[in-house]
Structure 1
Amino acid sequence: MELAKIEKLLDAYFEGNTTLAEEAMLRDYFAQDEIAPQVAMYQPLFVGLVAAKEEVSDRELKLPKNQFKIKNWWYAAAASVVLAIGVAGFVFSEPKLTQEEQEALAAFEKTKEAMQFMSKNFNKGAEELTYISTFTETKNKILK
């Protein structure tokens, strides 16, 4: 294989842009005895990859038993109960007003009613003023 093609494949390999077929071509090239001295430093990498691919472990893996599902269920249930109690406490709690605050609130309501009554009467008076202004304009037209 020509050296320029190998160098191009190496550049693409280290950038992560090679296909599986191109990687196989690189492994085959570096498995040969005759390699160009410019790329000889990469031979241990590819030889090591081939050796690592062939390794098999005889060790038996023991996975932990799945005991966490029960604990996770209990945590979720406990969190839901705490949340429900907190929301219920917030929703059903009535504000406790002192005697002074209750009296102030009652005085505010009476003042509000009085202001509404005055506003209603002022509005009636303002309507009467429009009639008077119309009468004055008409009188001025006639007397001229």
Structure 2
Amino acid sequence: MESVNVKKLLDAYFEGNTSLEEEKALQNYFNSETVADELLEYQQIFLGLKAAKEERSSRAFNLPESKPKTIKTWWYSAAAMLLVAFGLGSFYFSQPHFSQEEKEALAAFEKSKNAMMLLSENLNKGAEQIVFIDQFTITKDRIFE
């Protein structure tokens, strides 16, 4: 392999733009005995990668057993169903349920409330007219004095 091509591949390798075949060609080149003198500094990188690839651990690892997650899913769905049922039940029972007598009493109350509001409006209109009568009385007393 020419050193110019190897330098281009090295630049692409360090930028992360090489394919697996190009990386394999670089590893083969630097792991061989015929490396150009100006590229000897990069040979250590590829020798280190080769050594790291061949490392094996003799230590045994014990991984904890994982519990199946289906129980959690079942528990969450049951809790969600209970929550929805509780919400619907509380909404249903919070609505007033009146007997026929109570409905008639409420209707009579609304009618009397409307009648009182009409009476109040008319009394307020009359009270506005009293202001004019008071003004008329004051003016009359000034004139006849």
With normalisation by structure 2, the TM-score equals 0.54
Please, which moves more after superposition, 11-20 or 36-45?
Answer: 36-45
> 1:60-99 to 2 correspondence within 5 Å?
60-67=60-67, 69=69, 70-94=71-95
Q: Distance in 2 between matches of 1:107 and 1:48?
A: 96
Q: Distance in 1 between matches of 2:64 and 2:110?
A: 68
Two-structure CA RMSD over aligned residues (Å): 3.3
CA-CA distance at 1:25 after TM superposition: 1.2
Aligned to 2:55: 55
Q: Are 1:106 and 2:110 counterparts?
A: yes
Q: Which amino acid aligns with 2:60?
A: E
Q: Which amino acid aligns with 2:110?
A: A
Secondary structure at the residue paired with 1:64? coil
- Tell me, which stretches of 5 or more residues in structure 1 are unaligned? 97-101, 112-144
Secondary structure at the residue paired with 1:39? helix
Aligned to 1:7: 7
Q: Distance in 2 between matches of 1:92 and 1:53?
A: 70
CA-CA distance at 1:107 after TM superposition: 4.4
- Tell me, which stretches of 5 or more residues in structure 2 are unaligned? 98-105, 116-145
Count of residues in correspondence between the two structures: 105
CA-CA distance at 1:95 after TM superposition: 5.8
Q: Which amino acid aligns with 1:19?
A: S
CA-CA distance at 1:29 after TM superposition: 1.6
Structure 1 residue ranges (4+ consecutive) displaced by more than 6 angstroms after TM superposition: 108-111
Please, which moves more after superposition, 72-81 or 87-96?
Answer: 87-96
CA-CA distance at 1:5 after TM superposition: 0.5
Q: Which amino acid aligns with 2:76?
A: Y
CA-CA distance at 1:109 after TM superposition: 10
CA-CA distance at 1:15 after TM superposition: 2.4
Q: Distance in 2 between matches of 1:95 and 1:18?
A: 74
Aligned to 1:41: 41
CA-CA distance at 1:55 after TM superposition: 2.1
Q: Distance in 2 between matches of 1:22 and 1:8?
A: 11
